[in-house]
Structure 1
Amino acid sequence: MIDYALLRKHIITLAGLPESDSPVISAYLDLQQPHAMARADFRAWASMGRQTFTSQQRRDFDDAIEEIEAWLPQAQGRGAAVFARWGEHPMMLPMTFDAPLETHFHVGPFPVIYPLVELKDRFNRFVVVITTAESAKIIEVNLGAHSVELLTDRPALRTRIGREWTRQHYMNHRRDRERAFLKEKVAVIQSLMAKRGHNSLIVAGDPRWVSSLVDALPKALQDKVVSEIKTGFSDYRLGEIMDLAVEAFLQSEHEESLSTVERLIEAVRVGQLAAIGSLATLRALREGRVSELVISTGLPH
């Protein structure tokens, strides 16, 4: 699976690809469906796409299609993107992700990289905290693939209980340790999100501990909590909870994107300093008059 640094490198490479007479194929595939179906969709598109070319360009198109078809059986993960060009300056660049991608195909003089830029932005800011009375798993999600960054175990209290401890003494001690444990978790989360530049946080686990942890977060971190998943937790349910977390994060991102697009459209409608469309936006960029750039498939070109 591709990581964030390599994805960024590939995006820069594709953005700087020089134009040639040979067409560039950009293929995005949803690998959550059977691979045979994904390959069939690609072949059906290729059969129609080749009709738009003649002579050498058609031969280059067919050769690039053959390269992609030879690679597809080994594709792993939940999504794949592959770019290919034949001819005088051949190029083949496949990528796989543990993140869903919508199936679509393009051919033209340049690669279509917007979905990659969107993916890089979306999945580089996602932290999940799964908390119980015994432990807290702090998990960083990068491009849909999650890895346990830190594991904080709660020290056992009962091993220190002897005959000299009264029930009230134990209860007071437990409350002190709970406060210390929450404080430790908050410090770890705060440090991780600050160092990695994450903007979104999801808290999951036992309902009581989810509420306690969110309440213990400073206001700045509370504002970054996009979802609370109060389902309980055990190790065998990690995959299930992570799927719920990804779904919650995507929904939050979708709502945020819609809000941004709506603000832009409203600003244009009432005559504020805003522009929609490739030419108007490019002109504003060249003149240095852009403070926020919105890229969305829901906007007119």
Structure 2
Amino acid sequence: MRTTTLADGRTCGAIGLGCMSMSHSYSPMERDDAESIEVINRAVDLGITFFDTADMYGPFTNERLLGLALGSRRDEVLVATKCGLLAGPDGRLRRDARPEYIRAACDASLKRLGTDVIDLYQLHRVDPAVPLEESWGAMAELVREGKVRALGISHPTVEELERARAVFPVTAVQHELSVWASYTREDVLPWCRKNAVTFLAFAPLGRGFLTGRLPTAPFPENDSRSRDPRFAKGAMAENQAIVTAIRMVAERHEATPAQVALAWVLAQGEGVLPIPGTKKIRWLEENAAATELTLSQEDLEDLDAMPPPAGHRRWV
């Protein structure tokens, strides 16, 4: 696999692996830790060396899974995790970015991951109850202490990015980016380009929709897509037109819709790193092969001409 360079100069595979779905949010009834461990190790074999997780995934079980899977291969990869977003007993999310919580969360993540340093530590959400400068300052201290190598932030506004950057360098920004969620090209992605910051594109396959393989039946309540308006029954039917358009481009290249969707994200610039998630080796291998696909200008124009999806909203 070809490589890309992160904002802090380290290199990794041009596509990363988002580990969330192995333990959290999507089709939780299909969880299989043994199979996920095989997927993670196959990813390293394929040249995928950037792995994204978070303490809240599970909660807590996804970090343990990743640490167990990597084992002696830890030094071959970059591990990114997050803090500041918690799931309560009722499943509702709350934010906590107090400096004392961040320090405790980092120590707990290090233990679960079985490592002595986190390559990229990300603030999962800005906490409106805590000045961002205090949260980011506490994370900067973790870098100075050697517990963390670099800092990232998930779902920020441009104004929040400027505030964070004034305190300590921002290495990466994580936001949704795909052919059916391209709104970050209006503000956050240009900011990243201007400031040489890596853009981590989560959900580059549209939470599975852009692969063309999702069932049309409603998702169970414990699947987060059941709360996404793009996956409502009527919206899913309307949004099949998007998959049809992607499939037409795929046929030109004898590729799959998933590979076209990933190639579109890769075409957004050298500083963009897609982190698709999967629990299956066959889909992992398909995703990895997308780095070999180069879309033409005609392909990109056709994909950009698609209307926004029914149920579209900015993810916060």
Q: What TM-score range do you get, normalising by the shorter chain?
A: under 0.3
TM-score, normalising length: structure 2: 0.27
- The one of the two structures with greater contact order (alpha-carbon pairs below 8 A, sep at least 6) is 2
TM-score, normalising length: structure 1: 0.28
Which structure has more strand as a fraction of its residues? 1
Larger Rg: 1
